Amino acid sequence: MKKYATWVLLAAAVSPLVVNANLLSPYIDEKVFFLRFLACVVMTLLTIALLSFRKDADEIVSSVKDMLRDPIFWAVSANMLLLVLSTIFAFDRSIAFFGEPIRGEGFLTLFTIYLLYVSVRLLFRKKEWNTFFLISLACTVILFIIEIKQALLGMIRPSSLFGNPIFLSGYYLFSLFAGYQVWQWGREIKNNFYAFFGITAIVLAGVGILVTKTRGTILSVFVGMVALAIIAALFGRRESFGRFSVRKIGIVICAVLISFSVLFGLTRHGAFWQHVPGLNRVAAVTSTDATTLSRLEYTKASVAGFFGDRNPKTLLLGWGWDNFLFAWIAHYDPSFFLYDQGSADRAHNKLVDVLVMSGLLGLISYLAIWFVFIQKLWRSARVGIMALAGVIFWAAAYFVNNLFIFDISVTLLTFYLLLAFISTTSNEKTN
């Protein structure tokens, strides 16, 4: 049964491809339902394994004991407990639990992803991780082909099977990480196909991000590369790539990135950058363009929605998950209509979203997850940079990217997967 549960978990890798045109939100809801279905099946199989199969039960119990020693697990679980309280005391409990139809989130989906995180934490080891990454890269290729087809047909900002380019670009960050892992695995086992496939996926994901023209994600990739280069320069003295030490490579990459940023800043209004997909939108950023003004208004209304309500319950536990729209409406500024006629069900900033919807306690618990994650990543990086380079890049890029956008179920799942990955990877290194 444990084996079958693992196979079901591997199926989560294809969730980006799941679409149903008959649903209200075809690119989001079907992915949510698919993940809920997988979580139900996995938990059923694990329960049967614990009750009826002695060998499987012993292995699962051993994994549970290991998980209970993991501070990341306790941080994630504490955050989930606070979300339970936030849901109970939400402005609209029904929406907080089930979520709005257009997003399909709510506590139910968050708990679904938590169950998948626990299951992956218990069942995945190196073999399963590599298989999951391979499947994810196959999905990345499919998503990229559809994206390019949409671009060729005239779609200005193609979104492939995500319905929104910002969600597609957010998933591509995970693709960059998975590509690095598969490339590294291919080098380790001397399999040229896997190494080539990993590099190819990295290139496709990078190009895919540019084609989506999502400025926040483009910036996050740059920040991720800077963070990785700095860590490599600090801890890469004992490792080498070919004839060069990782530390020297990190220093060179830092210098190149700094030079590029200076050059881009000085020449961003030049004709050349206007013909580079993605970078042309970055070059056009000003403090007065409609997108920037709308993001500032989102933040303004969000902060007002949080601090404007002096109710201690709201301050501590927020309005409730997926209840952001109520805070937005209560503090809407009519002048906002001049440059953005839409309504906001998210703040387009993860930290602000968490603050408004789950309060101070929710934000503190969310940041606590990042604290223990980075702490474990820092300790592991001191042992070896090359093995964790992909995680280092992803952690910085994902965090920065979420300061400009927000998660859906699939991208949120990648966050929990990386939490499980760093835990199992660090344990395998120490065992």
What percent of the chain lies above the pLDDT cut of 70?
93
Residue 327 lies in a domain: no
Residue 283 lies in a domain: yes
Residue 298 lies in a domain: no
Is residue 431 very low, low, confident or very high in pLDDT (cuts 50, 70, 90)?
Answer: very low
Model confidence over 282-327: pLDDT tens digits? 887 776 666 777 777 777 777 777 776 667 888 899 999 999 888 8
Residue 316 lies in a domain: no
Residue 272 DSSP one-character state: T
Polymer length in residues for the chain: 431
Query: Is residue 128 within 8 Å of residue 51, measured between CB atoms?
Result: no
Note down the domain range covering 350: 2-287+345-430
Residue 307 lies in a domain: no
**Cα-atom radius of gyration of the chain, to the nearest Å?**
22
Residue 329 lies in a domain: no
What's the pLDDT at 186? Answer: 94
Average pLDDT, integer, range 242-259: 89
Total number of domains in the chain? 1
Query: Is residue 286 within 8 Å of residue 335, measured between CB atoms?
Result: no
Residue 279 lies in a domain: yes
Average pLDDT, integer, range 369-387: 84
Query: In 3D, which of 290, 343, 277, 322 has the Cα closest to residue 412?
Result: 322
Q: What is the mean pLDDT of the chain?
A: 89
Model confidence over 381-406: pLDDT tens digits? 766 778 888 999 999 999 999 998 88
Please give the model's pTM, rounded to 2 decimal places.
0.92
Residue 355 lies in a domain: yes
Model confidence over 95-152: pLDDT tens digits? 999 988 777 789 999 999 999 999 999 999 999 999 999 999 999 999 999 999 999 9
- Angle formed by the axes of helices 54-68 and 29-52, nearest 10°: 120
Is residue 430 very low, low, confident or very high in pLDDT (cuts 50, 70, 90)?
Answer: very low
